[in-house]
Amino acid sequence: MHITQFILIPKQLKHIFTLLKKDVLLEIRQQYSFYGVILYAASSIFVLHLAMEQPESAVWNGLFWMNQLFICVNAVAKSFLQENRGRSLYYYSIAGAKDFILAKLLFNMVLMLLMTLVSVLLFLLLLGSPMNKVLLFIFISCFGGISLSFVFTFVAAIAARAQQNAAIMAILGFPLIIPQLLLLMKLSNIAFSDVFQSGLSSIILLLSAFDVMVIALAVILFPFLWKD
């Protein structure tokens, strides 16, 4: 019994990376969706530049994370909108629900990392750099982008199976994302301060535990939705 479980592990990894490769190839072929999100990010940041030019650090930080929130919603939701019922039946025949959701989590994590780096670059170019520790902020923003992608992948998976994408994403996503955004803004404030602030490691551990919980919930609950 134990030997069989270990034999299945490489097969599951193969399924995950095959599905991940499929999502990457689709994204490369349908570049309009990727560039659409980039255009949304660039235009929204440019409008903020016209309205505020170089805001103070607290406003800059808040605007950045609100922009990240809307970018994540646009980037992650579309990955499930393109999966119709026929494709789902095909995936069901060649891979399991856990393989599918883990592949989506990995793909959206990589996609959100790219979007985060683009957002940070545009914010620094158009809205200035009020922070004292740029590299630390880049690390925190990438970490936060990964956390946001996990939450919205989980919520988008439930919404897509329920066929009420916009409504369910808003209802389920809002109570999950607000405490996470508050923690991320508090964490990123460290990069704007001249004085060293304690509590960095505890917030990172708390957010990491939240990410692990979201991944575990996705792996446990998604198979029940998958069967429908």
Nearest to 211 by CA among 145, 139, 150, 142: 150
Give the total number of structural domains in the chain.
1
Please report which confidence band the pLDDT of residue 4 belongs to, taking 50, 70 and 90 as the band edges.
Answer: very low
Please report which confidence band the pLDDT of residue 193 belongs to, taking 50, 70 and 90 as the band edges.
Answer: confident
Residues 116, 136: Cα–Cα separation, whole Å: 14
pTM: 0.84
Domain that holds residue 38: 2-226
Please report which confidence band the pLDDT of residue 109 belongs to, taking 50, 70 and 90 as the band edges.
Answer: very high
Q: Residue 118: its pLDDT value, please? A: 92
Q: List pLDDT tens digits, range 118-164.
A: 999 999 998 888 887 888 899 999 999 999 999 888 888 887 766 65
